[in-house]
């Protein structure tokens, strides 16, 4: 079932209000009531569509900040990873996505349904795209045939999430380049 044009406009207004308020006051102070007021909607309208502010924030981030995090396939796995990870770093490094995504991950630690939805709708698809690109590179002989792809994925993403969530150091293109150089020296990229 799809929204009517009016329903779609209302959904869009609610999602925009969520991101605007989230950027202005932070996730902790964000409330369904404030979002509804900003969007010109009733709080019951919001609750009918989203069971929690975490679910609303996730939908808002994924819908309104669709950017291409797809992998190119130029035949150079390191260059392709660099292009994709630079795009992800640019998204995570800037408001409203970065701070709100960090808050969403925090909320997911206490909300199993949100954690499952975040994994299903964002993390797992991104992971599968990375694994597919690594698999193609391995099949083309660009990576060692014995490379454990799941471990390679963890090694690629772990330092980024560590910096993003734990140390809160900036995610920069230079850091990504250093990470890729270090990893691929060990992964056997030719």
What is the model's pLDDT at position 1?
Answer: 43
Residue 67 has pLDDT above 70, yes or no: no
Domain ranges of the chain: 5-52, 67-187
Going by C-alpha positions, the residue among 4, 18, 97 that lies closest to residue 55 is 18
Read off the pLDDT of residues 28-48 as tens digits, 9 standing for 90 and up.
999 999 999 999 999 999 999
Q: Which fold has domain 5-52?
A: Arc Repressor Mutant, subunit A (1.10.10)
Question: Whole-angstrom Cα distance, residue 143 to residue 154?
Answer: 16
Same topology for domains 5-52 and 67-187, yes or no? no
Residue 27 has pLDDT above 60, yes or no: yes
Read off the pLDDT of residues 130-166 as tens digits, 9 standing for 90 and up.
999 999 999 999 998 998 999 999 999 999 999 999 9
154-161 long-range contacts (CB < 8 A, ≥24 apart) are 155/183, 156/81, 156/85, 156/130, 156/183, 157/127, 157/130, 160/85, 160/88, 160/89
What is the model's pLDDT at position 96?
Answer: 84
Specify the CATH number for 67-187; select among 3.40.50.2000, 1.10.3720.10, 1.10.357.10, 3.40.50.1000. Answer: 1.10.357.10
């Amino acid at each position: 079932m799809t929204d009517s044009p009016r329903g779609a406009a209302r959904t869009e207004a609610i999602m925009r209000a969520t991101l605007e308020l989230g950027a202005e006051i932070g996730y902790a102070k964000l409330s369904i009531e404030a979002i509804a007021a900003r969007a010109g909607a009733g709080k019951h309208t919001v609750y009918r569509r989203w069971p929690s502010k975490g679910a609303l924030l996730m939908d808002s981030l994924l819908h309104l900040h669709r950017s291409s995090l797809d992998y190119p396939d130029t035949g150079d796995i390191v260059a392709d990873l660099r292009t994709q990870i630079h795009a992800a770093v640019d998204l995570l490094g800037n408001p409203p996505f970065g701070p709100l995504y960090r808050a969403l991950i925090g909320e997911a630690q206490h909300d199993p349904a949100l954690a499952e939805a975040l994994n299903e709708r964002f993390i797992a698809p991104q992971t599968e795209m990375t694994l597919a690109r690594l698999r193609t590179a391995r099949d083309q002989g660009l990576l060692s045939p014995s490379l454990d792809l799941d471990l390679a994925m963890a090694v690629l993403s772990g330092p980024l999430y560590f910096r993003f969530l734990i140390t809160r150091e900036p995610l920069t293109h230079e850091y990504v380049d250093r990470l890729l150089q270090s990893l691929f020296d060990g992964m056997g990229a030719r």
